[in-house]
A and B are shown apart, each in its own frame.
Chain A
């Protein structure tokens, strides 16, 4: 037999790993103390965390919650936090200048908000999606008040439009475009000529209304949520369309999308907000009073839509060309293949970037304080302008930061959950 020849005769059974490699000790050894350098880093980090918490915890833990003014806090103990400002002003931080007797309205709106996003976040509850559709109108009515038919008529108009579209497709024409255009025309005509008439009648038959609250009264975290959530919901579809437009073969559409994205991304959000608050009125016909909150929402939406488009374009670029070819070769139309094959995958790839943009947008809503809307940051200055609390900084900003953190951390956790759920390759 030659020296090279070798035949394995018995199979070696698997045996457990040595104790030093598994369990808590194994984990510590592998992750924290694997080498002298790693050990040093671990000790340094622990020391670093210690320094930070050493002062913060006594400061926060011993804080006063029930004094009448900052003066009183300082007299008691100047080294601890004076959270009394929150006790005194938390309603303002949450609701801004919203009339106190109507606080239930924003409260109800945001409780309902939770119910309206559940069907979108968790497909299990998708059967309640109808509520997510009703919710925006309901929220507008609750927050701004007035007659319920002001928003109700919008729903009625769109409902009639959809109904007409379906009827046309069923009975008269097979052509989606013709049916679509005629339904849209119908809806426009309805709003121009009939809606006022209908609203008046409905107001007489079923008068339901709430005391109106004007936009400048909106403030606090309520305002952040209004602007942030509307911006998120609206910028997502616009971002998708812009991303598709940028990839389009049609040169004019492509040019418009590229121009829009590059322009908006190249301009600071504050500039756009100034345009919204000051300049926009010059461009609009005199007499039009375009709601300031709505103007801000539009600007924030456009701003983040441009970022969204680029994030989604990244996802689209990450898809192999073969996916387009496969769906085309099966006979799917452009829109079918975008909706069923391309977008689900591109959006999945872009989840971290999309959520990043959402979080950025939500935090950017604090910039509206610059155009003197009273979001929490703007209110912080207002509160400090009060003699009683003049000189207070940390406590207010910690509280505001915490409110934003809760929402943003929630989004981040959801995105991680979604990524795990959509993982199909293992």
Chain B
């Protein structure tokens, strides 16, 4: 039985070292043949021995993408027991994505979460005793993918896709009700109307594909949350990093009441920075909500920047914050060094140590504060002092893998792009059928495919949508 060929990035998604893109399935070798070129341009990977590795280049059509080593493993002696190819390329998120994109373009589809493992198992490669573990991997990876897909989808994109789907299903429902009840609903003049509509829909989807290429569909980057007591300079920090006045900065504590978001690039690393309301016990209702939100953001952050005002004593609110960031990757900024210092680095370390001791959590495991090596930088946001050190620190953490991108973001993006492309292709088929003056029942199938593909992006299944739409929008029957 022919199985589809799948591909995915097999290594962690980070800007370092090398990356591996794995392709598995019947067409794995023929796909690599289409995009690989050896130094002397003569080698065909379909003709090399199994379990050999080859130096060469990956091309997207005419364009050279990367210098690579390609390992070819013919089935059944591979992880999945299918023909498998692994492209060892230079690391770097963009580059790996680019290569994966080329592989997909040439006939593979992106692997479902846990699919390599699933195939390995179903093909008898993995011991049966591991069945349970395999099932768990599939389910948990999938749940994670679903969740991240929804969480990361940009709000306006979500809305756009929902609108597209609603418009498409309306057209399908019209066609279908006309087919089911030709005496009540006429399709006269519909051909022309739909032609215009399809033109509009394809344009809009094409725009979305472009934005997915720019990575704009998803909220990419390291989720960084700035926390601290009110008026310690959090918003000033955001403005400094963003290079513009995003946040309102005043001397009044509690100015920032809701979270502000900004994406910035530091040495090529994207940070998704969220500035939060200052944390203190407050009676102000609006501010209170802000504080709660800040805590929530901190919980899901990849990196926390804890800003401390060095000219003011530590208090209970600081303890609250320290408690909150205990298990997180944190950089502490001892800010306002332009003023007379009241607290020092040592004070801060001592306080943190005390808190760690109280805590029952195993303090030797993991990273971040638990390492007992606190990352503290003296800064003055007012005088722009120490910001470079901060940037270097982020860079260092990233390249030492203390900070990671959420891999799923990129996989999700790739999945979304694939789904958009599928929807687009389906609509092109509709367009062609319309040009060929095919009857309605032919292209309504492709319309449905477009609807289904778009549904994948926003995590919605089809099931009974059509029948419901037909009955709610069109009046039929005896």
Q: Do A and B bind each other?
A: no
